[in-house]
Structure 1
Amino acid sequence: LGGTQTRLPTVSDDGQVIAFVSNQNNLVAGDSNAALDIFVRDRSAGTTSRVSVDSLGTQANGLSDFPVVSANGRYVVFSSLASNLVAGDVGGFQDIFRHDRQTGQTILISQSSAGAQGNGNSFVSAISADGNRIAFSSAATNLVNGDNNARTDIFVRDVSQGSTTLVSVSSSNELGNGTCSVPSISADGQIVSFLSGSSNLVAGDSNNLNDVFRRDLTSGLTTLVSVDPDGRQARSPQATVSAGEVSPDGTLVAVETNAQDWQLSAGVSGARGILLATPAAVQLPDNLFGNGFE
């Protein structure tokens, strides 16, 4: 044990596979890159392996971070500044990669449907239960045609189809006019939630705050979910709405907020609470809310 940084654990559904970030050089043999790497601890096998490697097992030549693991523990998705994890990586940007623990294959996720590597940094990702669909945020402008809003957007990469789809759009496919971040994806990969300061993703968004939206990739419907049970947006002074987390079946989105006009915590100044958002938002029971920051 020991080391200066070991953090960001993410766990498979059965709790047997744990991916994490570490700069320790004694977890696996041959770790000499002096960089943050992604490791997996397999509790059943009693093994620790490094997954921020190329398909031949060569270690990354840049730092890797922010892992997420699929429900069955087979796939690990992570971001990396490395330029040697896949062939043809021109480097210079943080990309998203997926490592298959069963086959050892590492592939680039932050690419267009035509195979063009993203021309901007890509960030925090989320993975469907089977590991096929990965949602991520990116400042790249070449992942889909017509991305000209000069904002960080949300995309979904479908590995089996080889397709990349822009998710942070309105129901009429209008590009968001604000920055989008922190995606979450349902188990089947059909529903994506994300945080955005855009005011044009739904009609009537006038609170000039970050909101949480839900995009249905099957129907193409984008819905504002960070509203109270009466459908009102947060408008109180200094209100903040933080990242949402979509449920495995995609029907619920948990939203963190300190909006006092929603009366989430009996009027306690600065308190944060959780709202469960559905087609009609449902507040969690009062006894689940604290009296301060969480």
Structure 2
Amino acid sequence: MQFFISSRQVLTLLGVAIATGAAATPAPIVSFLQPLGAGAGLISAPSVSPDGRYIAYRQDNPAGTANDIYLYDRVTGTASQANLTSGGAPVGAKCDLPVASNDGLYVVFACNSAQMGLPNTQLPGAGQAYFVYDRLKNKTEVVAQGSQSAYVGLSNPIALSANGRYAAYRTWTNGANNVAIYSLVIRDLVNKTSTVTPATSTYVYLQQAPTSISNDGRYVVYAGKSNGGSTQEDVLVFDRVAGASSLINVTPAGARANGSSQGDVAISEDGNFIAFYSNGTNLVASQTGTPRRVFLRERSTGKTELISPMNLVGTPAGVALSGDGRYVSYASNSVLYVYDRLTKKTRNVSSAGAAAVSTRISRDGRYVVYQTSQAPGMTRAIALVDFGARPGLSLSSYNLSLTEGGAAGTYSAVLNQVPDYDVTVALSTNAQLSLARSQLTFTPDNWSVPQIVSVQALNDGIVEGQHSAIVSNTVSSNDIEYGVLKSQQVTVAISDAIIPTIVLPAGTWTSPELPLVGTAAPNATVMLTAVNRTTGWLTSVTTVADAQGNWSYTLTGLTVGVVDLDAQADGLKSAVQTVTIALDIAQ
């Protein structure tokens, strides 16, 4: 495989060009992936990992005998075939519709059973199966094989949760009057268990009717009908905990939409946001016209938002949703669109190669892949659009462990992208903690320089056991890209103050070896310091307290004189103990 990098594309906002030098909106870069080698077949159906490194896709055999699944690594420039036999050998098979997990570790897809070497392929309904490929193990396993009572197949894509644990797919069998009866199945790929759900309206009206599943496997969104005689297709979400399906394409009053909702559907990782198409004209207020539009439903608030503009040219296709639910991508009339739910801005790429189908977007919205027939000099290729690092606040750590009255802990904060205006980060916490500063300020000049936040747990003298507090990092700016960011929190685990102790064997000691014992916080590192007032001799050593908080150490190399000793642990210091070393007495 090979990528051809195009020149930096012109970025537009609702059709209005934005200068490519705009600080928080860098112009995207479009790359094209095509197969190498003479006679290489067409490629399609891409899926991308969040960092843009891995792209799963289908490659057709020019002879038409196989459509194999590959996972391309943009860093190494290599492609690994995913449809392997149980023995690990690559095999030519009719496969389709790969979906990759967030980390590019797993890829699910459908294939012809016989070509993949599965048994009992002569049975009706057993001709196709779903598979999962493990990149690290270079191993392919069966997720589900069709049977006489539960057909599966290439016409109904399998969904994969972003973390790669859960899969969702539909099975069907012939019912009365030869009308198919569909069921929605959720598969736990870790525990190897499958659950046939009581989801309703799962009848598939069109081929390649997609599904999408949340990260915890609880919610599955799908497009379907109540039966083969229904005139309207709906978008529904099945809640595995509630054991029921509910409509997504509904009016502000909760009524069913007045038009079909067909095509791609997508759900955010937490199951709260769902993107879909609909021909309905009553899903949002002031909606006009009848062309198919793109919508985003927020389940927690019950609100539906129209994503595609009223004056959109063409019919949208290939809707996809970023894992965090912020960005929606789709294509229409040779233009790729990406909508930002927070800023309400739409960016688009309208250069050659943007005639997109099968769009997929990475978790943070930075990368979008799509299948195109307009790549320069290529019959069909996969395009990757890199919109650049999205404006955001990055923290070096989201967890600290401190002891009351002990040493401070630190983390750093830095911006991901140069802002148009100053960005302030307000720091706040409760009475359990003390912050060295209350605000950070980033400018277009210092945005990439990490700033340190120092946090200390206060000793309140109250026995609380292990407890915690939060440091909130709240962003504000006149730059809308930063002004919409949510507050980020650092969780601080706090231990009660345990002042270390040190116990001497006697007030006067006549040996150069001094055995010491004491206490500190369990498993704490204890630093022992000894200073001879008479000679200036000094030593510092460390030991570790056991699980009960006890420690012991034998100090060596002592010289004659008065020696002060102390113990420190977790930033807390013991009382100073004094011993007189009188080696001449022993002699």
- How many angstroms apart in 2 are the aligned matches of 1:145 and 1:76? 27
- How many angstroms apart in 1 are the aligned matches of 2:249 and 2:352? 33
1:63 to 1:253, Cα distance in 2 relative to 1, 3 A: closer
Correspondences of 1:206-285 after superposition (within 5 Å) = 210-225=334-349, 227=350, 233-234=351-352, 240-260=355-375, 263=376, 267=377, 269-278=378-387
Task: Say if 2:140 is the partner of 1:18.
Answer: no
Q: By how many angstroms is 1:113 displaced?
A: 2.4
Contact 1:149 1:176 in 2 (8 A): no
Q: Answer 1 or 2: which has greater strand percent.
A: 2
Name 1:43's counterpart in structure 2.
Answer: 189
Task: Say if 2:268 is the partner of 1:128.
Answer: yes
Aligned-pair identity (%): 30
Q: By how many angstroms is 1:36 displaced?
A: 2.6
- How many angstroms apart in 1 are the aligned matches of 2:259 and 2:320? 21
Contact 2:323 2:363 in 1 (8 A): yes
Name 1:207's counterpart in structure 2.
Answer: none
Name 2:224's counterpart in structure 1.
Answer: 80
- How many angstroms apart in 2 are the aligned matches of 1:61 and 1:36? 6
- How many angstroms apart in 2 are the aligned matches of 1:240 and 1:216? 21
1:180 to 309, 313, 316: 316
Contact 2:359 2:370 in 1 (8 A): yes
- Give the match's secondary structure for 1:21: strand
Count residues in correspondence: 231
1:112 to 228, 244, 251: 251
For 2:215, the aligned partner's letter is A
- How many angstroms apart in 1 are the aligned matches of 2:231 and 2:186? 26
Name 1:152's counterpart in structure 2.
Answer: 292
**Normalising to structure 1: TM-score of the pair?**
0.70
Contact 2:284 2:305 in 1 (8 A): yes
Higher Cα radius of gyration: 2
Contact 2:296 2:305 in 1 (8 A): yes
Contact 2:317 2:357 in 1 (8 A): no
2:199 to 25, 50, 53: 53
Name 2:506's counterpart in structure 1.
Answer: none
For 2:368, the aligned partner's letter is V
Structure 2 unaligned segments of length 5 or more: list them.
Answer: 1-144, 390-587
Q: By how many angstroms is 1:63 displaced?
A: 4.2
Contact 1:63 1:80 in 2 (8 A): yes
Contact 1:74 1:101 in 2 (8 A): yes
- Give the match's secondary structure for 1:13: coil
CA offset digits 1:237-287 (Å, max 9, x no partner): xx8432422110112222332324xx4xxx3x414132324169xxxxxxx
Q: By how many angstroms is 1:182 displaced?
A: 2.0
Structure 1 unaligned segments of length 5 or more: list them.
Answer: 26-31, 55-59, 84-90, 198-209, 228-232, 281-294
- How many angstroms apart in 2 are the aligned matches of 1:112 and 1:224? 28
1:271 to 1:79, Cα distance in 2 relative to 1, 3 A: closer
For 1:215, the aligned partner's letter is Y
- Give the match's secondary structure for 2:251: coil
Contact 2:338 2:348 in 1 (8 A): yes
Contact 2:202 2:223 in 1 (8 A): no
Contact 2:319 2:331 in 1 (8 A): yes
- How many angstroms apart in 1 are the aligned matches of 2:358 and 2:203? 28
Contact 1:71 1:129 in 2 (8 A): yes
1:136 to 1:61, Cα distance in 2 relative to 1, 3 A: closer
- How many angstroms apart in 1 are the aligned matches of 2:280 and 2:299? 19
Contact 2:339 2:346 in 1 (8 A): yes
1:98 to 1:71, Cα distance in 2 relative to 1, 3 A: same
CA offset digits 1:21-45 (Å, max 9, x no partner): 21148xxxxxx98413221122344
Contact 1:152 1:181 in 2 (8 A): no
1:140 to 280, 283, 296: 280
For 1:42, the aligned partner's letter is D
Name 2:555's counterpart in structure 1.
Answer: none
Task: Say if 2:221 is the partner of 1:68.
Answer: no
For 2:251, the aligned partner's letter is S
**Normalising to structure 2: TM-score of the pair?**
0.37
For 1:144, the aligned partner's letter is V
For 1:133, the aligned partner's letter is F
